[in-house]
Structure 1
Protein backbone atom coordinates (compact mmCIF):
# COMPACT_ATOMS: atom_id res chain seq x y z
CA UNK A 1 0.00 0.00 0.00
CA UNK A 2 1.50 3.34 -0.97
CA UNK A 3 -0.79 5.71 0.91
CA UNK A 4 1.05 8.50 2.69
CA UNK A 5 -0.44 10.50 5.54
CA UNK A 6 0.25 14.24 5.45
CA UNK A 7 -1.38 16.39 8.10
CA UNK A 8 -0.94 20.13 8.43
CA UNK A 9 -0.78 21.35 12.01
CA UNK A 10 -0.27 24.62 13.78
CA UNK A 11 2.41 24.47 16.47
CA UNK A 12 3.52 26.95 19.07
CA UNK A 13 7.25 27.59 19.10
CA UNK A 14 8.38 28.11 22.69
CA UNK A 15 11.18 30.65 23.02
CA UNK A 16 12.34 33.28 25.46
CA UNK A 17 13.05 35.89 22.81
CA UNK A 18 11.11 36.55 20.76
CA UNK A 19 8.10 35.38 22.69
CA UNK A 20 6.42 32.15 21.65
CA UNK A 21 4.73 32.24 18.27
CA UNK A 22 2.46 30.07 16.15
CA UNK A 23 3.99 28.48 13.06
CA UNK A 24 2.74 25.96 10.51
CA UNK A 25 4.19 22.46 10.41
CA UNK A 26 3.49 19.23 8.61
CA UNK A 27 3.28 15.73 10.02
CA UNK A 28 4.03 12.85 7.64
CA UNK A 29 3.79 9.07 7.86
CA UNK A 30 4.82 6.67 5.10
CA UNK A 31 4.32 2.89 5.21
CA UNK A 32 7.66 2.54 3.37
CA UNK A 33 9.30 3.77 6.61
CA UNK A 34 6.78 2.20 9.01
CA UNK A 35 8.56 2.86 12.31
CA UNK A 36 9.03 6.60 11.73
CA UNK A 37 7.08 9.83 11.65
CA UNK A 38 8.30 13.12 10.24
CA UNK A 39 7.58 16.69 11.21
CA UNK A 40 8.67 19.52 8.93
CA UNK A 41 8.79 23.24 9.55
CA UNK A 42 8.86 25.83 6.73
CA UNK A 43 11.91 27.93 5.96
CA UNK A 44 10.22 30.96 7.50
CA UNK A 45 10.30 29.24 10.89
CA UNK A 46 14.06 28.62 10.95
CA UNK A 47 16.91 30.91 11.82
CA UNK A 48 18.86 30.12 8.64
CA UNK A 49 15.93 30.31 6.20
CA UNK A 50 15.92 26.59 5.34
CA UNK A 51 13.18 24.04 5.89
CA UNK A 52 13.77 21.98 9.00
CA UNK A 53 12.56 18.38 9.26
CA UNK A 54 12.89 15.81 12.02
CA UNK A 55 12.28 12.09 11.67
CA UNK A 56 11.81 9.98 14.78
CA UNK A 57 10.05 6.88 16.07
CA UNK A 58 6.28 6.70 15.81
CA UNK A 59 6.30 4.85 19.13
CA UNK A 60 8.15 7.77 20.76
CA UNK A 61 5.38 10.14 19.69
CA UNK A 62 2.64 7.75 20.82
CA UNK A 63 4.22 7.19 24.23
CA UNK A 64 4.92 10.89 24.71
CA UNK A 65 1.22 11.70 24.57
CA UNK A 66 0.85 10.03 27.98
CA UNK A 67 4.23 10.24 29.69
CA UNK A 68 7.63 11.89 29.25
CA UNK A 69 9.86 9.95 26.85
CA UNK A 70 13.06 10.46 24.91
CA UNK A 71 16.73 10.05 25.64
CA UNK A 72 18.27 11.28 22.39
CA UNK A 73 17.66 14.19 20.05
CA UNK A 74 13.86 14.15 20.44
CA UNK A 75 11.91 14.31 23.69
CA UNK A 76 8.11 14.24 23.98
CA UNK A 77 5.82 14.77 26.95
CA UNK A 78 2.21 15.73 27.74
CA UNK A 79 1.55 19.32 28.79
CA UNK A 80 -1.80 19.24 30.52
CA UNK A 81 -4.63 17.42 28.81
CA UNK A 82 -4.72 19.28 25.51
CA UNK A 83 -1.10 20.00 24.52
CA UNK A 84 1.99 17.88 23.83
CA UNK A 85 5.54 19.21 23.91
CA UNK A 86 8.21 18.11 21.44
CA UNK A 87 11.78 19.13 22.18
CA UNK A 88 14.44 18.82 19.47
CA UNK A 89 18.19 18.84 20.19
CA UNK A 90 20.88 19.50 17.57
CA UNK A 91 24.46 20.73 17.58
CA UNK A 92 23.15 24.21 16.73
CA UNK A 93 20.87 24.31 19.75
CA UNK A 94 17.46 23.24 20.98
CA UNK A 95 13.89 24.00 19.91
CA UNK A 96 10.68 23.30 21.78
CA UNK A 97 7.16 23.27 20.36
CA UNK A 98 3.67 22.55 21.62
CA UNK A 99 1.07 20.77 19.49
CA UNK A 100 -2.60 20.12 20.10
CA UNK A 101 -2.80 16.58 21.50
CA UNK A 102 -6.07 15.88 19.68
CA UNK A 103 -4.38 16.57 16.34
CA UNK A 104 -1.51 14.24 17.24
CA UNK A 105 -3.91 11.49 18.30
CA UNK A 106 -5.79 11.84 15.00
CA UNK A 107 -2.53 11.65 13.02
CA UNK A 108 -1.38 8.58 14.96
CA UNK A 109 -4.78 6.91 14.64
CA UNK A 110 -4.59 7.27 10.86
CA UNK A 111 -1.03 5.91 10.85
CA UNK A 112 -2.08 2.88 12.92
CA UNK A 113 -5.05 2.27 10.61
CA UNK A 114 -2.57 2.20 7.73
CA UNK A 115 0.10 0.15 9.53
CA UNK A 116 -1.08 -1.41 12.81
CA UNK A 117 1.39 -1.58 15.70
CA UNK A 118 3.35 -4.79 15.54
CA UNK A 119 3.02 -5.17 11.76
CA UNK A 120 5.65 -2.60 10.77
CA UNK A 121 8.12 -5.29 9.72
CA UNK A 122 5.67 -6.55 7.10
CA UNK A 123 5.91 -3.18 5.35
CA UNK A 124 9.68 -3.11 5.04
CA UNK A 125 11.24 -3.94 1.69
CA UNK A 126 14.49 -5.35 3.05
CA UNK A 127 15.67 -6.72 -0.30
CA UNK A 128 15.34 -3.35 -2.05
CA UNK A 129 16.90 -1.51 0.88
CA UNK A 130 19.84 -3.91 0.97
CA UNK A 131 20.31 -3.67 -2.79
CA UNK A 132 20.35 0.15 -2.53
CA UNK A 133 22.94 0.03 0.25
CA UNK A 134 25.18 -2.30 -1.72
CA UNK A 135 24.76 -0.19 -4.86
CA UNK A 136 25.79 2.97 -2.98
CA UNK A 137 28.75 1.31 -1.27
Structure 2
Protein backbone atom coordinates (compact mmCIF):
# COMPACT_ATOMS: atom_id res chain seq x y z
CA UNK A 1 0.00 0.00 0.00
CA UNK A 2 1.18 3.45 -0.86
CA UNK A 3 1.48 6.41 1.45
CA UNK A 4 -1.04 9.23 1.20
CA UNK A 5 0.60 12.59 0.61
CA UNK A 6 -1.57 15.71 0.58
CA UNK A 7 -0.17 19.12 -0.29
CA UNK A 8 -1.72 21.69 2.04
CA UNK A 9 -1.62 25.45 2.23
CA UNK A 10 -1.18 26.74 5.76
CA UNK A 11 -1.87 30.29 6.88
CA UNK A 12 -0.79 32.07 10.05
CA UNK A 13 -2.66 34.50 12.35
CA UNK A 14 -0.21 37.31 11.54
CA UNK A 15 -0.50 36.61 7.81
CA UNK A 16 1.64 34.69 5.38
CA UNK A 17 1.61 31.03 4.43
CA UNK A 18 3.90 28.09 3.82
CA UNK A 19 3.85 24.77 2.00
CA UNK A 20 2.94 21.75 4.09
CA UNK A 21 2.69 18.07 3.27
CA UNK A 22 0.37 15.87 5.30
CA UNK A 23 1.53 12.25 5.12
CA UNK A 24 -0.13 9.01 6.20
CA UNK A 25 1.80 5.78 5.79
CA UNK A 26 -0.02 2.46 6.29
CA UNK A 27 3.26 1.02 7.63
CA UNK A 28 2.95 3.49 10.55
CA UNK A 29 -0.84 3.24 10.89
CA UNK A 30 -1.30 5.16 14.14
CA UNK A 31 0.56 8.28 12.97
CA UNK A 32 0.05 11.30 10.73
CA UNK A 33 2.93 13.54 9.73
CA UNK A 34 2.90 17.25 8.97
CA UNK A 35 6.01 18.19 7.00
CA UNK A 36 6.76 21.91 6.80
CA UNK A 37 9.02 23.67 4.34
CA UNK A 38 10.52 26.11 6.82
CA UNK A 39 12.53 29.13 5.68
CA UNK A 40 15.86 29.18 7.56
CA UNK A 41 15.15 32.67 8.88
CA UNK A 42 12.02 31.33 10.63
CA UNK A 43 14.07 29.05 12.90
CA UNK A 44 13.83 25.32 13.33
CA UNK A 45 10.25 25.05 14.69
CA UNK A 46 11.48 22.71 17.40
CA UNK A 47 13.46 20.30 15.27
CA UNK A 48 17.21 20.06 15.09
CA UNK A 49 18.76 21.16 11.81
CA UNK A 50 20.21 18.26 9.84
CA UNK A 51 23.96 17.80 10.17
CA UNK A 52 25.78 19.87 7.57
CA UNK A 53 22.67 21.89 6.70
CA UNK A 54 23.31 24.99 4.62
CA UNK A 55 22.35 28.07 6.68
CA UNK A 56 20.80 29.81 3.64
CA UNK A 57 18.59 26.95 2.46
CA UNK A 58 15.05 26.12 3.53
CA UNK A 59 14.53 22.79 5.27
CA UNK A 60 11.72 20.33 5.84
CA UNK A 61 10.67 19.86 9.45
CA UNK A 62 8.42 16.91 10.37
CA UNK A 63 5.96 16.74 13.25
CA UNK A 64 4.30 13.39 13.97
CA UNK A 65 1.07 12.95 15.90
CA UNK A 66 -1.68 10.36 16.42
CA UNK A 67 -4.27 9.86 13.70
CA UNK A 68 -6.81 9.61 16.54
CA UNK A 69 -5.86 13.15 17.58
CA UNK A 70 -6.58 14.37 14.06
CA UNK A 71 -9.97 12.63 14.10
CA UNK A 72 -10.81 14.13 17.48
CA UNK A 73 -9.67 17.57 16.36
CA UNK A 74 -11.99 17.30 13.36
CA UNK A 75 -15.00 16.59 15.62
CA UNK A 76 -17.62 19.24 14.81
CA UNK A 77 -19.28 18.87 18.23
CA UNK A 78 -16.04 19.84 19.97
CA UNK A 79 -15.58 22.64 17.44
CA UNK A 80 -19.02 24.02 18.28
CA UNK A 81 -17.88 24.26 21.91
CA UNK A 82 -14.60 25.91 20.79
CA UNK A 83 -12.61 23.08 22.42
CA UNK A 84 -9.00 22.27 21.58
CA UNK A 85 -7.65 18.71 21.78
CA UNK A 86 -4.11 17.55 22.50
CA UNK A 87 -1.99 18.08 25.58
CA UNK A 88 1.48 17.43 24.23
CA UNK A 89 3.51 19.13 21.56
CA UNK A 90 0.61 19.32 19.08
CA UNK A 91 -2.91 20.58 19.69
CA UNK A 92 -5.83 20.92 17.28
CA UNK A 93 -9.01 22.93 17.55
CA UNK A 94 -11.52 25.04 15.69
CA UNK A 95 -10.17 27.77 13.48
CA UNK A 96 -11.28 31.38 13.26
CA UNK A 97 -13.74 30.37 10.54
CA UNK A 98 -15.80 27.19 10.31
CA UNK A 99 -13.80 25.92 7.35
CA UNK A 100 -10.45 25.98 9.19
CA UNK A 101 -8.71 23.92 11.85
CA UNK A 102 -6.18 25.53 14.18
CA UNK A 103 -2.96 23.56 14.64
CA UNK A 104 -0.66 24.57 17.48
CA UNK A 105 2.91 23.24 17.57
CA UNK A 106 4.48 23.54 21.02
CA UNK A 107 8.14 22.59 20.99
CA UNK A 108 10.11 22.42 24.22
CA UNK A 109 11.12 26.08 23.79
CA UNK A 110 7.92 28.09 24.46
CA UNK A 111 9.33 30.97 22.43
CA UNK A 112 9.02 28.83 19.30
CA UNK A 113 5.29 28.04 19.64
CA UNK A 114 3.63 28.12 16.20
CA UNK A 115 -0.08 28.64 15.52
CA UNK A 116 -1.42 27.95 12.03
CA UNK A 117 -4.69 27.39 10.20
CA UNK A 118 -5.38 24.55 7.77
CA UNK A 119 -8.51 24.17 5.69
CA UNK A 120 -10.83 21.62 7.32
CA UNK A 121 -11.69 20.00 3.95
CA UNK A 122 -8.02 19.19 3.26
CA UNK A 123 -7.58 17.45 6.63
CA UNK A 124 -10.92 15.65 6.26
CA UNK A 125 -9.76 14.31 2.89
CA UNK A 126 -6.54 12.98 4.44
CA UNK A 127 -8.47 11.37 7.30
CA UNK A 128 -11.05 9.74 5.01
CA UNK A 129 -8.36 8.37 2.68
CA UNK A 130 -6.35 7.03 5.64
CA UNK A 131 -9.41 5.22 7.01
CA UNK A 132 -10.04 3.70 3.58
CA UNK A 133 -6.50 2.26 3.69
CA UNK A 134 -6.49 1.28 7.37
CA UNK A 135 -9.85 1.38 9.18
CA UNK A 136 -9.89 2.59 12.78
CA UNK A 137 -9.37 -0.40 15.07
CA UNK A 138 -7.36 -2.30 12.43
CA UNK A 139 -4.07 -0.44 12.88
CA UNK A 140 -2.38 -3.18 14.90
CA UNK A 141 -2.98 -5.71 12.10
CA UNK A 142 -0.63 -3.62 9.92
CA UNK A 143 2.29 -3.82 12.32
CA UNK A 144 4.93 -6.52 12.22
CA UNK A 145 5.98 -6.26 15.86
CA UNK A 146 8.36 -9.22 15.58
CA UNK A 147 10.26 -7.46 12.78
CA UNK A 148 10.26 -4.19 14.70
CA UNK A 149 11.73 -5.99 17.71
CA UNK A 150 14.40 -7.68 15.55
CA UNK A 151 15.31 -4.30 14.05
CA UNK A 152 15.73 -2.84 17.54
CA UNK A 153 17.96 -5.72 18.53
CA UNK A 154 20.09 -5.28 15.38
CA UNK A 155 20.55 -1.59 16.17
CA UNK A 156 21.63 -2.29 19.75
CA UNK A 157 24.12 -4.98 18.76
Give the TM-score normalised by structure 2.
0.79
Distance in 2 separating the partners of 1:81 and 1:65 = 11
More strand by share: 1
**In structure 2, which of residues 46, 70, 85 is the aligned counterpart of residue 69 of structure 1?**
85
| Cα-Cα RMSD | 1.4
Aligned to 2:81: none
1:29 to 6, 24, 28: 24
Instruction: For residue 28 of structure 1, report the CA deviation from its aligned partner.
Output: 0.2
Instruction: State the distance in 1 between where 2:88 and 2:43 align.
Output: 22
TM-score, normalising length: structure 1: 0.90
Q: Is residue 83 of structure 1 aligned with residue 90 of structure 2?
A: no
Larger Rg: 2
Task: Look up the match of 1:5.
Answer: 4
Q: Where does structure 1 lack aligned partners over 5 or more consecutive residues?
A: none
Per-residue deviation, residues 55-92 of structure 1 (Å, max 9, x unmatched): 00001011111232101111000224200011011123
SS in 2 for 1:72: coil
Mapping for residues 50-69 of structure 1, pairs under 5 Å = 50-66=59-75, 67=78, 68-69=84-85
| Runs ≥4 residues deviating over 6 A | none
Bigger drift between 103-112 and 91-100 goes to: 91-100
What is the Cα deviation at residue 4 of structure 1? Answer: 0.6
Secondary structure (helix, strand or coil) at the match of 1:76 reads strand
